[in-house]
Structure 1
Amino acid sequence: MFKTFVASALLISCASAISSFDSYKKSQKSNFTQEKSQFSDYKKAQQKAFSSYIKELEKYWKKPIMTSKKKLVSYAKDKKSRTIIDFGHNRLTIETLAKETQEAEQKLSLALVQAVTFNTEDFYNNDEFEQQLAKIEASHKIATPKIDAEPVLAPIFFKEQPTKKSLYHFVKHNITPEKIQIQKSSKIKTDKVYTLTISLPKDATIKRSFIYYEDVKREATRQQIPLALVFAIIHSESSFNPMARSYVPAYGLMQIVPRTAGIDAYYHLYKKKRLVGSSYLYNSKNNIKMGSAYLHVLYYKYLHHIKNPTSRLYCTIAAYNTGAGNVARAFVGTNDTYRAAQMINRLTPEEVYTRLLKDLRYSEAKRYLMKVRKRMKLYKKIYES
């Protein structure tokens, strides 16, 4: 009798547990579906804000320029001056609208001081468009953490924290008549466009990588992936532009796409599905954590049937750019990663690399694989030798 009672109790308990778990899964799915809907609304609000901001800039500039993967663009409050840090080409350009040279030199001097002393938090808080996006994120209940206050250009130009004296000499050296170009045509008839262009040091990219060394080392170790791989990915994705933004949209140092890599990485880290917004990914610690987690997911889960670690590494690099399904297509014509792994396991790593360069669907992914492999050797020499 007691055994029958216990058995019945266990059955009821198990049925209840299963029912509870099913309810939990349905609840999680329902919550995530709701989040996806909110994110879709958030994207529409973003696009509306973007169009509105571009129209505002067009009052002053013939060709508005916005932050992209490898450019950080900052406009003054009056929108009549803009700073363009081109991390991809190691170039700093400052443009201002002014009626005469003396006014232009004053505005260029102020913008130059800000450019070389601002940290990521300063750039974010000074960016009217990003502040609009932050309000949109908050209204859609998307996480908006504090942006890290990390240096951007100061470590490139100065060995130590710049002083008023060193800044004065820096500005005096760079703001000279022969370095300023003048264009008569402007959207404002009474103004001319004054442009100052400064080349960044050749080792600017490497110097910027030092800023993120501790974060990269920690996350690479945690996710059991090569430190040089994370650095090479950051270099290739954004050239260490902490506020990188692309049309996909993808955000930050490692160009995380919220609705794909972002979901997989967040689930791997926190065991729940969640969509994150741009400001979450502009936080460099979050971005490196998410990007490293996604590399772990690709290497140890999506592509884990590939036995040779070097072959799997090449496929992981390509998959970070184009997706694991497209990597599989290069070998078997479908997105079946298991079938692709069986073929890959019969090839040498160099044969796998050659096959990827030949048969990857997109040229961008082929170039990406070549760049990352080459840059891995560079960062391995710098940080692992």
Structure 2
Amino acid sequence: MKAKYLLLLLLLGGCSTAPQQPCICSNPLPPVTTAPVNPNNDKESVNQLLAYIAQVAKDRWGEDDFVEAGKHRYVKYLDGYTTRAHIDFEAGKIYVSTISQYQPEHKLQKAIVQTLLMPADPANAELFSDKEAIIKGKPFLLGQVVDHEGKPIEWEWRANRYADYLMANKLQSKSIKRGNAYYVEITMVKDHLEQREYQYAGLIRDAAQRYGLSEDLIYSIIKTESSFNPYAVSHAGAYGLMQVIPKTAGADVFNLVKKKPGIPTKEYLFDPASNIDTGAAYFYILKNRYLKDVKHPTSMHFSMISAYNGGTGGVLSTFDSDRKRAMVKLNNLSPNQVYDALTTKHPKGEARRYLQKVLYFQKDFSEGKL
């Protein structure tokens, strides 16, 4: 057995790790129950799921060491919420850790493999439970992580070998609320963001052509909303790459574009193809319905981006409390003046920053094509 494996077992004094035997600790963990959800309210149900996960995970890990899934962050709990994979897509870091007191080395090694081979389709990821993901197809992280030999990790045998290497050479520990946490840190390749972009290039191209949009716009929206994280979720009830909210943008797309009743499910919006199609279709609605009276194409562009984040009402209220007067005032301004108003006078600070950020990213994507 590797030296660090032995160190790990020695650090776990007080709990038996004999095979086939449950660990009897002085501070046992409470059992995991099923999270209550309201199937008729998508925003409420996702908040209930996130709140439930937070409640159980905080009990395991403590307030200071709890990590929650978000728009730019993938978090997956396993083993009764005692083992965790955390991917920070903005920082390009992966952390796999465990606080399990029973066979922690085995659980950590298994979680590393699960993370390296995590499915590209969020439908197989079991995001809102501690169940293992269904490993099938090409791994989502393929090309975004390489092993200790600089090789991409596509197959289970290579993932297992890299996990063994990490356990033997990169294992770390820290004290937390319930004792010790054991973890490894993996640095993603420098162009990990571009690697994710490539995965969706075809879907973005098709959606741009379908709805008469520039590819740069869709790329910049996805980067802003999720850093190309298809597992992205927020407390606002938004899902996936373009962070679509089912009851607002999703409902509009279903009713006005798809000509079908109801709203998209979270499963539908976690599917990258459906998500990109829905987000792009909502821009089509903004351009051809809600903001169709904006005359200058550049002012239209600024208004659509702002409305994607803060709603059409937010855009118009920037100029006047009366919608008709607001449109007249908007059209009497130059595009630069419209931009200045939306980035300094919009009633929501987030929307002001959002337009700036999307346009910054869009410039990068546009220049990258030259």
Partner of 1:380: 366
Displacement of 1:317 in angstroms is: 0.5
User: How many pairs align?
Assistant: 325
Are residues 256 and 184 of structure 1, via their aligned partners in 2, closer, same or farther at CA, if it must alter by over 3 Å? same
1:310-321 matches, cutoff 5 A:
310-321=298-309
Q: Distance in 2 between matches of 1:150 and 1:253?
A: 19
Which of the residues 253, 266, 287 maps onto 1:278?
Answer: 266
Deviation per CA, 1:146-192: give whole Å up to 9, x if none.
Answer: 99966421121257563456435644554455x433123342xxx51
Residue 110 in 1 paired to residue 110 in 2?
Answer: yes
Query: Which one is further off, 272-281 or 356-365?
Result: 272-281
Which of the residues 84, 87, 90 maps onto 1:85?
Answer: 87
1:61-140 matches, cutoff 5 A:
61-63=61-63, 64-99=66-101, 104-121=104-121, 124-127=124-127, 129=129
Deviation per CA, 1:74-131: give whole Å up to 9, x if none.
Answer: 112332210011112222111112459xx54443332222212111347744445398
Partner of 2:26: none
Partner of 1:185: 176
Partner of 1:333: 321
Displacement of 1:342 in angstroms is: 2.2
Which of the residues 204, 219, 224 maps onto 1:236?
Answer: 224
Q: Distance in 2 between matches of 1:324 and 1:371?
A: 19
Displacement of 1:287 in angstroms is: 0.5
Displacement of 1:330 in angstroms is: 1.2
Are residues 65 and 356 of structure 1, via their aligned partners in 2, closer, same or farther at CA, if it must alter by over 3 Å? same
Give the match's secondary structure for 1:66: coil
1:1-385 matches, cutoff 5 A:
39-40=40-41, 44=44, 47-63=47-63, 64-99=66-101, 104-121=104-121, 124-127=124-127, 129=129, 151-158=139-146, 162-163=154-155, 166-167=158-159, 170-171=162-163, 174-177=166-169, 179-187=170-178, 191-334=179-322, 336=323, 338-382=324-368, 384-385=369-370
Larger Rg: 1
Give the match's secondary structure for 1:222: helix
Query: Which one is further off, 218-227 or 201-210?
Result: 201-210
Are residues 196 and 265 of structure 1, via their aligned partners in 2, closer, same or farther at CA, if it must alter by over 3 Å? same
Are residues 378 and 119 of structure 1, via their aligned partners in 2, closer, same or farther at CA, if it must alter by over 3 Å? same
Conserved? CA contact 1:124–1:130, under 8 Å: no
Displacement of 1:371 in angstroms is: 0.9
Q: Distance in 1 between matches of 2:45 and 2:332?
A: 49
User: Which amino acid counterpart does residue 344 of structure 1 have in structure 2?
Assistant: L
CA-atom RMSD in angstroms: 2.9
Q: TM-score, normalised by structure 1?
A: 0.76
Q: Distance in 1 between matches of 2:239 and 2:365?
A: 23
Conserved? CA contact 1:75–1:82, under 8 Å: yes
The unaligned stretches of length 5 or more in structure 2 are 1-37
Give the match's secondary structure for 1:39: coil
The unaligned stretches of length 5 or more in structure 1 are 1-36, 132-145
- The structure with the largest helix share of the pair is 1
Q: Distance in 2 between matches of 1:186 and 1:256?
A: 36
